Amino acid sequence: MVEDGKVKYLGDYDKIMNKSDEKINLQGYTVLPGFIDSHTHLIEMGLNLTRVDLSDTASFQEACYFLNKEVKKTDAGEWVVGTDFDETKWKMNEYPTKDDLDEVSEEHPLLMKRVCGHIAVVNSAGLDEIDEEWGRVDRETGVIKEEPVWNLDEIMGIGQEEKKEAIEKGLEKAHRLGVTGIHDIVDKDGWEAYVSYDDDESLDMRVRCYLHFDEIDDLSPQDHSQCLSLRGVKLFVDGSMGARTAALEEDYADDPGNRGTLLLSQEEIEDVIREAEAKGFQVMAHAIGDRAISTVLDAFEATASRIEELRHRIEHAEVLTQKNIQRIRSLDITLSTQPNFAYRWSQSGGMNEHRLGRERLERCDPYWDIQRSLVKMTFGSDNMPMSPLFGVYSAVNHPILNQRISTYNALHSYITNGAYASRDEDRFGEIQNGMYADFVVLSENPLDSEDIKDIDVIMTVVNGKIVYDGRDEEEK
């Protein structure tokens, strides 16, 4: 029974039926606590819904076909953006160049963003829009990496109203997927857009925001409402596997001499940790390669004094050695991982095997090793794609057989541990008396399903309010 947005009573059927004013018969469907996406970019997802989706393109030529269609209906001088291309699906298996995109349009600033979010390609008109002060911009090829890619909103002049519209679109999609809580990485403008949206519309999502560490000067952790909070700071220690910028201890197998890029030194990370802890912010450190993970752990060991209290975390942590897993356990650091990465890119002959070779692939996204070491692990999507059921399916069907985990533990990582990671386990993440009534209704019990990714979300409820009702669609 739900009352005032919280679970009022669990127990005797007759007692509940006698006291309830409104009754919903779920007809034998499965009810779970709502999914919590512990690493996402909802505003970016909302913006991308109005852009050119290149995720399923099988060639650069096919990508150009879709970009050309958008160019034809876009005024000259306006940006045209293609999202989520993955060159590893293409026969050319290499990034396009500025000259390639100039053939699509010279009158529009045009950008193609890779699925990893760490690399993009722009045409000549797009390069003209990128100030010379931005680093990691190759003006010969049009390839841009890391910082300018993270700050495309600023470069493209996307304002608060556009971001509020993106929040609306992103929330609608997230609700359809059974998501009731997110840990969203945003810039300061994004945080302010959330605050404005919450004031105007009232968020129907538990949103925990994380800002880039250089944007927190005049801010402190805060609960704007029961749904919206500013929790922590994000720092990038390395890049991505797809862009070959994840910092590795050994060379990339497909790029000898390249070990990726450390974007911050240990000393710089220590400075961020000190400032964050002084303000009471949780630290969210992006580290994919083993060299980056070791550097972050060295910084935590040397500096941090509030890990258990603030629940500092490492994001992605893909190339994990047994030694570093034990260090993470000893420090009581939370790991925020993305099982969809493993399923998409660690298949035999896939991108991760090309990047790492077979031996290191066996250490990539080692979920069973993490779990048996009693490290607290939470799951998120990083929008690749935002689908908790696909994420659970990916963990249960990990391409490395001895790193598969049970459906129960995968669900635990996508629900209960998500609440723990943001210090909300006393408010949501379980269906218990007195906790917020955030839950999802599924067409099938994942514990009994042969194909978890194809389970339908029937209903999503946040704060006792139905925010998505798939039954309405069935009736149409």
In words, the CATH class of domain 47-145 is alpha beta
93: left (phi over 0), alpha (psi -120 to 50) or beta: left
**Dist. CA 394–CA 124, nearest whole Å:** 39
Q: With contact defined as beta carbons under 8 Å apart, do 258 and 251 qualify?
A: yes
Those residues whose C-beta lies under 8 Å from the C-beta of residue 22, and which sit 6 or more positions away, are none
Closest CA to 399 of 348, 464, 336, 469: 348
Closest CA to 467 of 181, 196, 163: 181
Provide CATH code, domain 160-421: 3.20.20.140
Closest CA to 462 of 38, 171, 232, 170: 171
Which residue type occupies 167? I
pLDDT in tens, the chain (476 residues): 778 888 876 766 555 555 656 777 778 899 999 999 999 999 999 999 999 999 999 999 999 999 999 999 999 999 999 999 999 889 877 889 999 999 999 999 999 999 888 899 999 999 999 998 898 999 999 999 988 998 888 899 998 999 999 999 999 999 999 999 999 999 999 999 999 999 998 899 999 999 999 999 899 999 999 999 999 999 999 999 999 999 999 999 999 999 999 999 999 999 999 999 999 999 999 999 999 999 999 999 999 999 999 999 999 999 999 999 999 999 999 999 999 999 999 999 999 999 999 999 999 999 999 999 999 999 999 999 999 999 999 999 999 999 999 999 999 999 999 999 999 999 999 999 999 999 999 999 999 998 999 999 999 999 999 999 998 765 54
C-alpha distance across the termini of the chain, in Å: 29
Q: What is the pTM of this model?
A: 0.91
Q: With contact defined as beta carbons under 8 Å apart, do 332 and 324 qualify?
A: no
Question: What are the sequence ranges of the domains in the chain?
Answer: 2-36+435-475, 47-145, 160-421
Q: With contact defined as beta carbons under 8 Å apart, do 346 and 352 qualify?
A: yes
Superfamily of domain 2-36+435-475: Urease, subunit C, domain 1 (2.30.40.10)
